Amino acid sequence: MPEKLKIGVLTSGGDAPGMNAAIRAVVRTALTNDMEVIGIQNGYEGLINGEFRNMNERSVGGILQRGGTILLTSRSKRFMEPTGQRDAIRKMNEAGINGLIVIGGEGSMNGAHALSQQGVKVVGIPGSIDNDIWGTNIAIGTDTAMNTIMEAVDKLRDTASSHQRAFLVETMGRNSGYLAVMAAIVCGAEVALIPEVSITADEVAMAVEQAYKRGKTHAIIINAEGSNISTTELAARIDDLDVGFKTRMTILGHIQRGGSPTAYDRLLASRMGVKAVEALMDDKHGVMAGLKGKGVEFIPLVDVITNKRKVNMEYYRMAKVLAR
């Protein structure tokens, strides 16, 4: 008779809207299939410390619409070391946890793979507003973050037009320009700056000046935080060159992480949560649930962590064409 599953679930790294929907799906799918579920608080740090709590149906009631994560999250330096991983596995064994679901970003998938290599049955669920995780079309939280950016830029555009300004809007994206490129398309920005493509401040200034000459009443520049030019330096250079518009800066920061998840993120998180539990039931582990086309498929964690997701340059070219 197969061993009864006792699943642990944790959220790790940066929070993303929709993580609670994934937790809810994991808990309720597991309970429906007569499993026990342990919520692990504070990510991998909580795993090392044994911060465990039993989860039932009511533990996840009323959380679909909430941003953040009810299990809390953190980044753990201790877990990066073999001793930290050993202590985490010891705590799991002491609690009788024989399956683990990790919801998080690129670093979280690296941690999941490290545990998998040491015999832990683990399944990953991608949660990242940057959409920088290889192996899935989109991660939990990306759609909500995009909508947050779009709403902010739409409001900024109103005042930019009224005062004939060039607004520089900084989005998240240390290593990936996904948010900046998509925001440029859906918000009608004149320029998008991304980590994958180097550009000079003078080239940006020239594009803004051309927009002014064409009679535009404003200009929007979207700058990913990981691009090769800081937003502050870019604003100063555009003003120095006197391109017609005066600049104003808006750094959206962590507002992009918050807010109630969109319907899309709630559905995506729910689908991935259900699939992750079903994978453990089928003794499938060492994998991440990823959206491929219209379906959720499983990608080996080793592939997820050894490949780097790059922005689709077709979208970058589209943003430039539509900026006229």
* Residue numbers annotated as active site: 130
Closest CA relative to residue 74, chosen from 44, 50, 48: 44
Rounded Cα distance between 85 and 87, Å, is 5
- Is residue 162 packed enough to be buried (19+ CB in 10 Å), middle (13-18) or exposed (0-12)? exposed
Chain position carrying tokens 């993303």: 16
Cβ-contact 323, 191 below 8 angstroms: yes
Tell me if 125 sits within 8 A of 22, measured CB to CB.
yes
Sheet with 36-40: list strands edge to edge.
52-54, 36-40, 6-11, 99-104, 122-126, 287-292, 295-300
Token pair 């995506």 in the structure block, residue: 268
Structural tokens at position 125: 């669920």
Evaluate whether 68 touches 19 at the Cβ level (below 8 Å).
yes
Report which secondary-structure segment, H or E, holds 222: strand 219-224
In what helix (H) or strand (E) does residue 19 lie, and over which residues does it extend?
helix 19-32
Structure tokens at 124: 């990953």
What is the bridge-based pairing of β-strands 287-292 and 295-300? antiparallel
Q: Which string of DSSP letters, residue by residue, matches 21-72?
A: HHHHHHHHHHHHTT-EEEEETTHHHHHHHT-EEE--GGGGTT-TT--S-TT-
Q: CB under 8 Å to 220, separation ≥6 — which residues?
A: 153, 156, 157, 160, 166, 167, 169, 187, 188, 189, 190
